[in-house]
Amino acid sequence: MNIPSNLKFTKTDEWFDLSSGKMGLSDYAQGQLSDIVFVEIVVAVGEATEQGKAIASVESVKAAAETYASASGKVVAVNEELANNPEILNKDPYGAGWMVQVEGGDASALMDAAVYEKYCEERAQ
């Protein structure tokens, strides 16, 4: 399980990079979903998003799931590439697999990598 130490995480398995404002689905979550076959980003550039509100819908060969904003802020970029290549989420969830970029995001309520790793381990038991 890949959990970068520079990111913050939610209990619903989304990540947030405070330095770039990018957010997406964690490696743990994409592993649970298995092969991702469809991604639809449901927010647009210029919109405001709230922490915990849906930003994307993801479908895999196993299940469908909502992806939620890990931080509130104004959407400044959306990763359009995911619509055509949803498998990017499986290959590179923290790099090319980012979903939305916001400005003004606050990560104070999120878990750091060590706490998130423990949280994932507890759920796996």
CB 84 within 8 A of CB 40: no
Average pLDDT, integer, range 7-16: 96
Q: Is the dihedral of CA 86, 56, 30, 96 positive or negative?
A: positive
**Location of structure tokens 């498998």:** 87
Q: Does 125 score more than 80 pLDDT?
A: no
Kindly report, residue by residue over 40-76, the tens digit of the pLDDT: 999 999 999 999 999 999 999 989 999 999 999 999 9
Topology (CATH) of 8-105: OB fold (Dihydrolipoamide Acetyltransferase, E2P) (2.40.50)
- pLDDT band for position 1 (cuts 50, 70, 90): confident
